[in-house]
Amino acid sequence: MQKLLRILNGILTATITIFLTSMVFLVFMNVVLRYVFESGITWSEEMARYLFVWIVFLGAIAAFKDRSHLGVDIVIGSLPPKAQKALYMFNQIVIIGLMGIVINGGVKMIQVNSNSYGPATGIPLSVLFVAATLAAVVIILMSLIQTFQYVVKNKNLPSWAKAREEEKPL
């Protein structure tokens, strides 16, 4: 299982890296072509926009996986372990509910934009909403796994719970 997770993490990181490199290259080349040769790549702006949207949502997956999203944990870190777990479960239920809303809206937007295409690239606009929907599905799965690991198995503890565990007298 750990080997599969490492492979998936590598694919995620490589995809973000490739998309970011491609976006920077396209924008840079377009700027050079416009200022030096007074012409540009017509589809590069639109493609950079598509890549940026995908980078944002893939980055959200990577940040959620590493628990790197901003959070204030001073209150939960000072609570007893049972209260921490209860509050953590409530937090994960809220996250799952919000991701459900994103999935619902994403599916509707995919349907609405299935016949709309980018003017320069010809790529369906629904591709943008697939990124959000995919990210929401993956975040729900990770939320369920992280919650199970922390609440049931007491493994993969969040940083604030680790600090509390280290404070326990022997």
Residue 45 contacts residue 30 (beta carbons within 8 Å):
yes
DSSP structure string for 7-56: HHHHHHHHHHHHHHHHHHHHHHHHHHHHHHSS---TTHHHHHHHHHHHHH
pLDDT at 138 over 90: yes
Q: Is the pLDDT reported for residue 3 higher than 70?
A: yes
Between these two residues, 165 and 74, which has the higher pLDDT value? 74
Mean pLDDT of all residues in 143-163: 83
For residue 67, give the nearest of 164, 160, 158, 165 by alpha carbon.
Answer: 158
| Domain locations along the chain | 2-167
Whether 22 and 51 have beta carbons less than 8 Å apart is answered as yes
Model confidence, pTM: 0.86
Q: Residue 62, SS3?
A: helix
Please report, to the nearest 10 degrees, the dihedral formed by the alpha carbons of residues 17, 21, 71, 107 taken in order: -80
Of 1, 46, 2, 51, which is closest to residue 22 (Cα–Cα)? 51
d(CA 109, CA 126) in angstroms, rounded, equals 7
Q: What average pLDDT does the structure give for the chain?
A: 89
138: tokens are 């993956």
Burial of residue 135 (number of CB atoms within 10 Å: 0-12, 13-18, 19+): buried
> pLDDT tier at 94 (50, 70, 90 boundaries)?
very high
